[in-house]
């Protein structure tokens, strides 16, 4: 069956190989913000004949085509999510690495206004709040290695 991202790829005239189909499916089903390593892990679980180089090449291609957006929440690895034209932003819990998404029309309006004032046309925007859960003492981070990948699971979208 054709995944949402695969459909978009086809519409944009991309050549769909088996590997790309699998990666597109993984991306379509992701509710978090996986990094390339994680995408590779999920894709390889569905089809072993996928190399990490292909994942890198594919996300780069899809980003160039505007299908994906690259995010960087710190931690050295790029993370990806499907482009959504109703924009949403991120709040990152600095103690756990958990990422919470939110929307805000007001922010969006303000950003457009600011860009216009400076003579620019906004193409994409980033708004991130790094914060601590209310009433939490400044705490040592719990996990470490894949804290950001793992912590972002099962979040409301």
Residues making contact with DNA (CB under 7 A): 10, 14-20, 35-37, 49-54, 56-58, 60-61, 76-78
Q: Is the dihedral of CA 39, 41, 45, 49 positive or negative?
A: positive
Q: Which does 7 bind (CB under 5 to 8 A by kind): DNA, a second copy, none?
A: none
**Is 124 an interacting residue with respect to a second copy (CB under 8 A)?**
yes
- Segment interacting with a second copy, rule: CB under 8 A, options 21-29, 50-58, 116-124, 145-153: 116-124
Task: Name residues contacting a second copy, limited to 43-82 (CB under 8 A).
Answer: 70, 72, 74
Structure tokens belonging to residue 64: 């160039």
Angstrom CA distances, 27 to 119, 123, 150, 154, stand at 35, 22, 16, 15
- Segment interacting with a second copy, rule: CB under 8 A, options 22-30, 44-52, 53-61, 105-113: 105-113
**Is 121 an interacting residue with respect to a second copy (CB under 8 A)?**
yes
The helix-helix angle for 18-29 and 4-11 (nearest 10°) equals 130
Give the Cα separation of 22 and 128 in Å (integer).
30
Q: Which does 24 bind (CB under 5 to 8 A by kind): a second copy, DNA, none?
A: none
Please check whether residue 43 is in contact with residue 26, taking contact to mean a CB–CB distance below 8 angstroms: yes
Count other Cβ atoms within 10 Å, centred on residue 138: 7
C-beta closer to a second copy: residue 83 or 107: 107
Residues that bind a second copy (CB under 8 A): 70, 72, 74, 91, 93-94, 100, 102, 104, 106-107, 110-111, 114-116, 118-134
């Amino acid at each position: 069956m054709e995944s949402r991202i695969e459909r978009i790829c086809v519409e944009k005239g991309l050549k769909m190989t088996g590997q790309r189909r699998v990666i597109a499916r993984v991306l379509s089903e992701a509710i978090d913000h996986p990094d390339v390593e994680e995408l590779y892990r999920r894709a390889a679980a569905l089809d072993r004949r996928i190399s990490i180089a292909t994942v890198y090449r594919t996300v780069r291609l899809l980003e160039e085509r505007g299908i994906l957006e690259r995010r960087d929440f710190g931690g050295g690895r790029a993370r990806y999510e499907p482009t959504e034209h109703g924009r949403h932003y991120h709040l990152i819990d600095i103690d756990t690495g958990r990422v919470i998404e939110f929307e805000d029309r007001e922010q969006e309006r303000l950003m457009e206004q600011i860009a216009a004032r400076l003579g620019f046309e906004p193409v994409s925007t980033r708004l991130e709040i790094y914060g601590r859960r209310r009433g939490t003492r400044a705490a040592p981070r719990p996990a470490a290695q894949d804290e950001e990948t793992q912590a972002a699971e099962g979040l409301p979208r």
